[in-house]
Structure 1
Amino acid sequence: MCSYKNNIVQLTLGVVLCLLQGAAQAADYVDVLDLPAKVSALAGKSPLSGVARAGERVVVVGQRGHILFSDDSGKQWQQAVVPVSADLTAVSFPTATQGWAVGNDGVVLHSSDAGATWAKQLDGRQIGDLLIKHYSALATAEPDNETWPNLVAEGQRLVEQGADKPLLDVWFANDKLGYVVGVFNLILRTEDGGQTWTPFQDRTDNPQGFHLNAIASTGDALYIAGEQGLLLKWDESAQRFTVLETPYQGSFFGVLGKPGEVLVYGLRGNVLRSTDGGQSWTALDTGLHVSITSGLVDASGKYRLFTQGGQMLVSQGSGEQLHLVRKPAPTPIAGATQSAAGALVVAGSRGVQALSVDPDLEP
């Protein structure tokens, strides 16, 4: 009997200790939206995804809230001060000093010092309430419009599900006007540099709620690329993003171009080109079956597209033909830009690196 009682006592003590330990761990938990990014000597070799120029500076963003900047074309990097540890996906600098970064959990960060320090402007814990407030007001003003209650319900779902919806890209025209886009047709617009945000779900032709993967300007038009062949273009007269028909129904990961020309790229090496504002498209022969994940127009006007396999495609000038030049990085490339000195700075699963451009190897 004594042995039985001793076993019961030991079991009870074990359960109590486990509960106490679990309570202590719960007390120590800090949400990544409230936990500043840790300074790490390995930050430059950790997964990074977004790259942008901030004047003469290059800024990259990535996993665990890591943001780094370089003032020497990517040779040396410094880690920025960041108030969150959420994974970051994209960054945009419309001016040399003013920049925005976005990422998981609906986080939006702002920098006013060329990416050295950052402040949080928005996160996923607030986005649902934004939708509820905005679309409830419209529902009151237009009680017969069935669109508004549906969007109010979407906001309620976001509140109930918590801050788990990633923002996938960000684009700013200047230091005031910008957009952030993400999963399930998540799109917000600001006209005051991120002080306030307006939901734009009702301003997109995306009734199925496909993910919005990228947003970019070609200089004369603004496009959004999404999954399952979704491609949208801003219509100034209609004040909405209208759908463009394309011959490819796979996911698009990015858009780039110049006035009068636009390329959209995505899964399995697919690249489409239009010279009439997206009214008609030509499929380009890339010779690749691996996904194209990032791109840029360099200082000489050449298109450079990078793949999940580390390859680089280059055009001669216009985007009519693309040529496989070399394999610049033995790793998937998620983001790329060109430094002021002309080096290509690419980021991916193994961090960031700078690549020199060899004209003798290019068309």
Structure 2
Amino acid sequence: MNRFSRAAAGVLAGVTLTLLTASPAQAAPFADPLDTPAVASTLAPRALLNGLAHAGTRIVAVGQRGHVLFSDDQGGHWHQAAVPVSTDLVALVFPTARDGWAVGHDGVVLHSADAGATWVRQFDGRKDADVGDKPLLDVWFDAHGHGMAVGAFGLALRSDDGGKTWQHWESHLDNPKALHLNAIREVGGTLYIVGEQGLILKRSTNGERFEAVPSPYQGSFFGVTGTGDSLLVFGLRGTALHSADGGQHWARADTGTQTGLTAGLALGDGALLLVSQSGQLLRSADGGATFHAQPQVKPGPASAVLVAAPGQLLIAGARGARLQALAATAAAK
């Protein structure tokens, strides 16, 4: 062994001995993200954001490490909300200008009563062994406090008291394989859930079940949007299906892309928008039959989209939220 090798070996042995004999007190204690408030950071507006929603005229965004941001100038400037957890947040909904809910990893459900400025934890997986560390992937509420949260491995929870208590609702879904449930949305007054392996579920007229809708595609769907009986589901490999009769019949949309479609939006003029994992912005003016890529779109992976102002979109993704001009001036429904 040469002199350099012997010296290096000595250093390595010393480091190893130090690690082996270090007192347990020197090790950083585990901090449960469910008990650790989100850290305020000036970088939060440029970090991963997964969901966007309107809270009246305010825009609220959720993302990694418990980050919740809100903007009162259509996405021009952002403020970080006070959040009691630092687990990743995936989706949110505001059925009224003041009350909103956000969901994420570890089965967490948060509620805000002040348009997203502050949040309280209502539920997490530690309270229910059947939830555990399963992530909740989407959430829906109406203005009367009736809501649902859906997630991995078929997880489906329902609340009828504004999120104060939750009940398992898996037995009310036609999902015998416990497939992942990726999104829940209300379209035309009807609730739909979409998930993996082509799963499309539609709430029954009595509201007590979600019944399977036949699907011609067996890959994963990531979202659903539309207006009235016009419905659009979208997901892996640029796949989108459109229906003009509430899901009774489907036709494959021509999206012009093979990239996963992550979010969608219905505009007031009847147009439909989709965004992709690679940052493409696609628009349809024929009910979802064909989509065309919009020019001069800023690059970057996209996970959520909404109308920030007339002619202006807000697109969220791995690099925060960015404004994107849109020719149409209609507001989103």
TM-score by length of 1: 0.83
Q: How does 1:170-249 map to 2 (within 5 A)?
A: 170-237=139-206, 239-249=208-218
| Cα deviation, residue 331, structure 1 | 1.2
- Residue 339 of structure 1 aligns to a residue whose secondary structure is strand
Q: Which residue of 1 aligns with 2:228?
A: 259
Q: Which residue of 2 aligns with 1:315?
A: 284
- Alignment gaps of 5+ in structure 2: 1-13
C-alpha distance in 2 between matches for 1:297 and 1:33: 35
**How many percent identity over aligned positions?**
49
Contact 2:189 2:228 (C-alpha < 8 Å) held by counterparts: yes
Q: Which residue of 2 aligns with 1:127?
A: 128
C-alpha distance in 2 between matches for 1:118 and 1:49: 17
C-alpha distance in 1 between matches for 2:303 and 2:19: 47
Let me know the Cα RMSD of the aligned residues: 2.0
Contact 1:310 1:327 (C-alpha < 8 Å) held by counterparts: no
Q: Which residue of 1 aligns with 2:75?
A: 74
1:321–1:14 CA distance, 2 compared to 1 (3 A):
closer
Contact 1:98 1:175 (C-alpha < 8 Å) held by counterparts: no
Contact 1:57 1:339 (C-alpha < 8 Å) held by counterparts: no
Q: How does 1:57-68 map to 2 (within 5 A)?
A: 57-68=58-69
| Cα deviation, residue 236, structure 1 | 2.8
Contact 1:106 1:127 (C-alpha < 8 Å) held by counterparts: no
| Cα deviation, residue 329, structure 1 | 3.0
TM-score by length of 2: 0.90
C-alpha distance in 1 between matches for 2:196 and 2:92: 20
Q: Which residue of 1 aligns with 2:8?
A: none
Letter in 1 for 2:125: G
| Cα deviation, residue 275, structure 1 | 1.3
| Cα deviation, residue 175, structure 1 | 4.1
C-alpha distance in 2 between matches for 1:73 and 1:118: 21
| Cα deviation, residue 24, structure 1 | 4.1
Letter in 2 for 1:93: F
| Cα deviation, residue 270, structure 1 | 0.6
C-alpha distance in 1 between matches for 2:328 and 2:100: 32
Letter in 2 for 1:123: D
C-alpha distance in 2 between matches for 1:81 and 1:65: 9
Q: Which residue of 1 aligns with 2:219?
A: 250
Q: Which residue of 2 aligns with 1:305?
A: 274
C-alpha distance in 1 between matches for 2:145 and 2:311: 29
| Cα deviation, residue 30, structure 1 | 1.5
Deviations 1:40-68 (A, max 9, x none): 00000101110011110111000000010
- Residue 326 of structure 1 aligns to a residue whose secondary structure is coil
C-alpha distance in 2 between matches for 1:297 and 1:254: 12
1:237–1:49 CA distance, 2 compared to 1 (3 A):
same
| Cα deviation, residue 277, structure 1 | 1.6
1:117–1:315 CA distance, 2 compared to 1 (3 A):
same
- Residue 314 of structure 1 aligns to a residue whose secondary structure is strand
- Alignment gaps of 5+ in structure 1: 1-9, 129-154
C-alpha distance in 2 between matches for 1:348 and 1:16: 42
| Cα deviation, residue 358, structure 1 | 2.8
| Cα deviation, residue 287, structure 1 | 1.2
C-alpha distance in 2 between matches for 1:15 and 1:349: 36
| Cα deviation, residue 126, structure 1 | 1.2
Aligned structure 1 segments of 4 or more residues deviating by more than 6 angstroms: none
1:16–1:220 CA distance, 2 compared to 1 (3 A):
closer
C-alpha distance in 1 between matches for 2:207 and 2:146: 18
Contact 1:56 1:340 (C-alpha < 8 Å) held by counterparts: no
C-alpha distance in 1 between matches for 2:226 and 2:328: 22
Higher relative contact order (CA 8 A, sep 6+): 1
